Amino acid sequence: MATGLEAKNIHAWFGKKHAVSDISLDFNHGTVTALIGPSGCGKSTFLRILNRMHEFIPTAAMAGEVLMDGSDIYQSGVDVTKIRLQIGMVFQKPNPFPSMTIAENVLSGLKLAQLKIDNRDEILESCLRRAGLWDEVKDRLDEYGGSLSGGQQQRLCIARSLAVKPKVLLMDEPCSALDPGSTLRIEETIRELAQSMTIVIVTHNMQQAARVSDYTAFFLSDGGPGELVETSDTKTIFSVPKDKRTEDYVTGRFG
Partner 1 sequence: MTIASPKHPWRPTGKTLLPDFLGILLTIFISFGIIKLTPLSGKLGFAVSLVLTSLVVSGAINYFRRDRKAAFNAVTSVLIYITGTFLIVPVISILIEIIVKGAPGLTWTMFLNDMSVTSADAPANEGGLLHAIIGTGYLIFFSSVLSVPVGILTALYLTEIKGRFAGIVRFFVQAMSGVPSIVAGLFIYAVWMIQLGNQYSNIAGAASLAILMIPTVARTAEEVLKLIPPDLREAGLALGATQWRTVAMIVIPAARSGLITATILGIARVAGETAPLLLTVGGADAVNLNPFNGNSSALPYYIWKAFAMGTDQSIARAWAGIFVLMALVMTFFTLARVFGNRRGRA
Query: Interface with partner 1 by CB under 8 A: which residues?
Result: 51, 53, 56, 58, 81-86, 88-89, 91, 93, 95, 97-100, 108-109, 111-114, 144, 157, 160-161, 164
By the 10 Å C-beta count (0-12 exposed, 13-18 middle, 19+ buried), 71 is classed as: exposed
Q: Which of 62, 63, 73 is nearest to 27 (CA)?
A: 73
Q: 228 near 43, Cβ under 8 Å?
A: no
Closest CA to 23 of 3, 38, 43: 43
| Shortest distance in whole angstroms from residue 91 CB to partner 1 | 6
Q: Which is nearer to partner 1, 54 or 211 (by Cβ)?
A: 54
Closer to partner 1 by CB, 87 or 212: give it.
87
Least CB distance from residue 34 to partner 1, whole Å?
20
Q: What's the DSSP call for residue 12?
A: E
Q: Quote the least distance from Cβ 138 to partner 1, whole Å.
A: 21
Task: Give the integer Cα–Cα distance in Å for 68 and 213.
Answer: 21
**Closest separation between CB of residue 89 and partner 1, Å?**
4
- Taking the least distance from each CB to partner 1, the nearer of 79 and 135 is 79
Q: What is the Cα 108 distance to its own chain's centre?
A: 19
